[in-house]
Amino acid sequence: MQLVHGIQDLRASLEQERSIGLVPTMGALHEGHGALIDRARSECGCVVVSLFVNPIQFDRGADFERYPRTLDTDAAFCERRNADFLFAPRAEEIYPRPQRTFVEVTTLSDHLCGRFRPGHFRGVATVVLKLFEIVRPHRAYFGEKDAQQVAVIRRMVADLNVAVEIIGVPTVREADGLALSSRNALLASEERKLAPYLYRSLRAASQCVEHGEINPAQVREAALAVLSGVPGMRVEYFEIVDADDLQPVERIAGPVTIAAAVWLGSTRLIDNLLVIPPQPQLQGFRC
- Could you tell me the smallest distance in angstroms from the CB atom of residue 215 to ligand AMP? 30
Distance CA 144, CA 272 (A): 8
- Residues lying near ligand AMP in the complex (CB under 6 A) are found at 25-26, 32-33, 35-36, 142-143, 145-146, 169, 171-172, 179-182
Q: Please say which residue, 94 or 208, places its beta carbon nearer to ligand AMP.
A: 94
- Could you tell me the smallest distance in angstroms from the CB atom of residue 201 to ligand AMP? 17
Whether the CB-CB separation of 125 and 119 falls below 8 Å is answered with no
Query: Using CB atoms, what's the residue nearest to ligand AMP?
Result: 143
Active site residue 138: no
Per DSSP, helices labelled H in 96-162 are: 112-116, 120-135, 147-159
Distance CA 204, CA 105 (A): 31
Per DSSP, helices labelled H in 182-239 are: 189-194, 197-210, 216-228
Whether the CB-CB separation of 263 and 237 falls below 8 Å is answered with no
- Could you tell me the smallest distance in angstroms from the CB atom of residue 105 to ligand AMP? 16
Q: Please say which residue, 14 or 51, places its beta carbon nearer to ligand AMP.
A: 51
Q: Please say which residue, 182 or 218, places its beta carbon nearer to ligand AMP.
A: 182
Distance CA 5, CA 3 (A): 7
- Backbone angles phi and psi of 271, in degrees to 5: -165, 165
Whether the CB-CB separation of 275 and 256 falls below 8 Å is answered with yes
Distance CA 238, CA 229 (A): 16
- Could you tell me the smallest distance in angstroms from the CB atom of residue 165 to ligand AMP? 15
Q: Please say which residue, 219 or 261, places its beta carbon nearer to ligand AMP.
A: 261
Distance CA 24, CA 235 (A): 28
Q: Please say which residue, 146 or 239, places its beta carbon nearer to ligand AMP.
A: 146
- Could you tell me the smallest distance in angstroms from the CB atom of residue 144 to ligand AMP? 7
Catalytic residue among 30, 33, 111, 211, which?
33
Residues annotated as catalytic are 33
